[in-house]
Structure 1
Amino acid sequence: MADKSQPDPRLGQVVYVLRGRDAGQYAVVVGKIDPKFVLLADGYKRKFDTAKKKNIRHVRFQDFVSEEVERSLHEQGRVTNAKLRYALQQFLSTHPRAEEKGE
């Protein structure tokens, strides 16, 4: 039975991590494992090659999708860490109320 309260995550979508070691930080969806789990990376501490498997109930989906990241993942199956960092910078600059990413 599908949970209607959770949106369908898109590749390149920015999320706010609510639980776990990376709580309080923003990341980008770089993969979908199944309807409950996604792979997250931020290009800083969490690189694309070591993306974090995360339950979708432990993240808050933002209304920002990086078309460049999405296109790269569909065409090449991977994305550079620089593109991930750029996508997060774009998100933070267009959403002034978003909390700053902590290191």
Structure 2
Amino acid sequence: MLSNNLSVGQVVKATSGKEKDKLFFIIKVVDHQYVLIADGKKRKLGKPKLKKVKHLEIYNVINNKVNNKISSEQNVTDVFLRVELTKLNDLV
């Protein structure tokens, strides 16, 4: 099982598909094989991408702001996701 340590707000990079080599946040862990990802630009919160975990490079970076907002069902915007991913681009 690959997704034992996955969390909402965790940073991942797509390793296949049209979004290859782009960073995303995990928006929801669906099950042990699938997660929903969004970046606020191409993949917006209104229509996140269902992606297999095996097609993602998992980083040990969890954005607590994103995690807290999604977990507490606060209003999360696409602009907020883009800003947070831009901050993390240099670190990952």
The answer to whether the superposition gives a TM-score over 0.5 is yes
CA deviation after TM superposition for structure 1 residue 79, in Å: 2.2
Which whole-Å deviations, capped at 9, do the CAs of 1:26-55 have from their partners, x for residues lacking one? 111001111110000000111011100000
Alignment of 1:1-80 (within 5 A): 3=1, 7-76=4-73, 79-80=76-77
Deviating 4+ runs (over 3 angstroms): none
- Structure 1, unmatched stretches of 5+, are 96-103
Q: Which stretch shows the higher mean deviation, 22-31 or 71-80?
A: 71-80
| Contact 2:3-2:33 within 8 A present in 1 as well | no
Give the alignment's TM-score, normalised by structure 1: 0.81
CA deviation after TM superposition for structure 1 residue 92, in Å: 1.1
Q: Which stretch shows the higher mean deviation, 63-72 or 77-86?
A: 77-86
Aligned residues between the structures: 92
Give the alignment's TM-score, normalised by structure 2: 0.89
Would you say 1:86 and 2:76 are equivalent positions? Answer: no
Three-state SS of the structure 2 residue aligned to 1:54 is strand
- Structure 2, unmatched stretches of 5+, are none
| Contact 2:4-2:32 within 8 A present in 1 as well | no
The amino acid of 1:87's aligned partner reads E
Task: Give 1:99's aligned residue.
Answer: none
Which whole-Å deviations, capped at 9, do the CAs of 1:45-80 have from their partners, x for residues lacking one? 110111000000000011211111100111116621
Q: Percent identity?
A: 25
Higher Cα radius of gyration: 1
Root-mean-square deviation (Å): 1.6
